[in-house]
Amino acid sequence: MRDILRITIGLTISCLIAALIMGSVFTVTDKAKKHNERMDIQNTMLGLLGYSGSHRAPSDLALLPVYRYIIDDKGTKYLGYMVPVKKAGKEAYELLLIDLGGKLKRKYDLDITPETAGEMSERDAVIRKVLEPPALFTYADTFIVAVRGNKRLAYLIPGEFPGFKTFIRVMLALDPSFTIKGLDILEQEEDPGLGGEIIHAYFKNQFIDKTYKRIKSLEVVKKPLPEEYRRYLEREKWKKGMFTEKQLESIRNKYKDSDIYALTGATISSRSVTTGIKTMVKKFAYRTRRLDQVIAQQHIPVSF
């Protein structure tokens, strides 16, 4: 009996030690995984802005997240924007409640730092403190404003939409007038050699330089991609000096207003991306203009 008790206690202690070790390892690896994911996303955003290892981002470039929520206050719906603001020389956040007509209902100071705002649990906690029960809130999405000095350089918008097989996740860069500056495909499961070609420069770079007006009427055409245009779209892989600046400008002007050339044998995937990008840009432009109107009218000291 004494031996059984000793064995039981020993096994219990061993299990507790093993659980502690596994928990510690998970905590460390989970933090490392999240850090790596954040770095990957940041590098993607910098790449869409034209920065890389050989062309470093300037030290005064800031990437400022804006978090959007849907808020239900006794059956009335509001858009809630967590916006970065400057107060007393410090970076902080305010929550703006905007009704569906585009008017500010109220605003709240949030007790959260820009560093901790990246964690959803931290944001949820501070929003819960300022909203009066029984108001409910649901996270909608995030966009990032790239700022240098007091000038907006671009908006960076993560998005997801249906593809031919599953969902396609993207990161889109728009300039302040909502012209597309860049597109990256973050995740997709389209057919290899067919729809999977959406990740390649000769497809995704067709969206670059499309203006907001042109995006609204953008279509997919089942025509062969012109060879000169393909070389232009893939110019990053060619030797430096293959194109003169004059040639690049000529080709850009020739095709910047063209529709999207479908991938061979993958028209559905091509249309999925095109429709998804059009929807993202149109919704974002509409919401951002309304948000900017509120910011201007209420003299909110946003950091962007």
Give the pLDDT confidence of 145-165 residue by residue, as tens digits. 999 988 999 999 999 999 999
Three-class SS state of 217: coil
| pLDDT mean over 206-232 | 97
Q: What is the pLDDT of residue 55?
A: 87
Confidence of residue 47 (pLDDT cuts 50, 70, 90): very high
C-alpha distances in Å from residue 210, one per residue of 170, 213, 251 = 17, 8, 14
Give the pLDDT confidence of 254-299 residue by residue, as tens digits. 999 999 999 999 999 999 999 999 999 999 999 999 999 999 999 9
Cβ atoms of 260 and 207 within 8 Å: the answer is yes
Q: What is the pLDDT of residue 39?
A: 83
Residue spans per domain, the chain:
64-149, 153-287
Mean pLDDT of the residues in the chain:
92
User: Which of 4-13, 96-105, 204-213, 230-239 bottoms out in mean pLDDT, i.e. has the lowest?
Assistant: 4-13
Give percent above pLDDT 70 in the chain.
89
